[in-house]
Structure 1
Amino acid sequence: MTTSAVLTVPAADPAVAAAHYLARLAFEADVSDVHADLTAGVPGVVVVDSRSDAAWAQGRIPGAVHLPTARIAELAPRSIDRSATVVTYCWGPGCNGATRAALEFARLGYAVKEMLGGFEYWAREGFAYDTDAGTGQRPVDDLTAPRSGIACAC
């Protein structure tokens, strides 16, 4: 009989699994959902770019607020409405800057989520972005989103 690598540790009880996945969704948002909310003008969602000035100049999500992580405690109380849900992002999945920024917002008492994939996946999914030189947009990377540009509906 073949030993299963997947089942070496058995799957969690379904109720425990449901609680786990619900908790993840309470902490995280994906690029597509953030884009949909920004496009629809959903009130009460503030997207925060926690990267450096140089990174911000290179490219950022339209409408995002620039608050480098080291300055969140100082600047957030006077620039971000306490009733808003803050969505933090940084470069991408290889960077935990958005996690550190989300922690800072949580410590200040804000409702906060981290955007999975960061700026990298925003650009890779073909969404427009702003730079200091103007607007940019890359073709959709078909390893991250459907080539058609239509949402994957996952």
Structure 2
Amino acid sequence: MTVAVKEKVAEYLEMALGKPVDLSPLPDDTALSTLGLDSLLTISVLVTLLEDCGVDLGEHADSLVTPSTLGDLYAVADRFMEDEDSTPSGSDVSREQRSQVDFYQEKLAYEIDSADLQTALDDGQDLVVVDGRSSESYDREHIPGAISIPHRSISQDSLASLSKTPLYVAYCDGIGCNASTKTALKLATSGFRVKELIGGLDWWKRDGHATEGTAAQSEAHDHVDCGCAG
């Protein structure tokens, strides 16, 4: 694979993950999930790459498969990349589209919903769920397996024992509460990879997922699939 293709793929991955990525020592069969890309981020990278290359997604839909390894992503980039010198300069519309793509990529890079979190937990992905509320609220009810780190108590000392390898998912009540945002910001400032759980504990329960604690709910009987996987 050419250096240009690998450098371009690295740019897309850095944009999606929000951090520098060194692909040079990684073999082509490296799973994208080990780099921190879940299924939504992988699709986002693929779509952005194809749009930048001017590819009609409908025209090539039957021949495109969501990449699962670096080699897969290299192959897609190599197939569709053109000489940048031959591409026309972007118009005002293309810049607006680029801005939109950047915005939605950032949302996917920094947020996660309860369905994707449950899937990631079921798959055994390397992540840590962090409850940023008070310890009393945590004891009353929390997401199974979550650790309690009240956002007001976060400091370099309180984080010293935590590994920076996993992805951390911060949450709070989710109803008019920004404790998860404050928790995510403090963790990110300290060098951790973080996503914020959309809707917090409230939406987690509304989606029918179980909780732990003195006021825990078992798996909800009226759980309704949101249909996002369709």
TM-score, length of structure 2 as denominator length: 0.54
Of the three residues 142, 159, 166, the one matched with 1:60 is: 142
| Unmatched segments (≥5 aa) in structure 1 | 1-11, 142-146
- Counterpart of 2:229 in structure 1 is 153
- Counterpart of 1:22 in structure 2 is 105
Larger radius of gyration: 2
2:212 counterpart SS class: strand
2:208 counterpart SS class: coil
Structure with more of its chain in helix, by fraction: 2
Is the Cα contact below 8 Å between 1:31 and 1:122 reproduced in 2?
A: yes
| Unmatched segments (≥5 aa) in structure 2 | 1-94
* Residue 110 (structure 1) shift: 0.8
* Residue 54 (structure 1) shift: 1.8
- Counterpart of 2:96 in structure 1 is 13
Is the Cα contact below 8 Å between 1:32 and 1:151 reproduced in 2?
A: no
Q: Which runs of 4+ in 1 moved over 2 A?
A: 132-141, 149-152
* Residue 150 (structure 1) shift: 7.3
Measured in 2, the distance between the counterparts of 1:140 and 1:125 equals 9
* Residue 151 (structure 1) shift: 5.3
What is the percent sequence identity of the aligned residues?
A: 33
* Residue 152 (structure 1) shift: 3.2
Is the Cα contact below 8 Å between 1:60 and 1:119 reproduced in 2?
A: yes
Query: How many residues are paired up?
Result: 136
Q: Which amino acid aligns with 1:132?
A: T
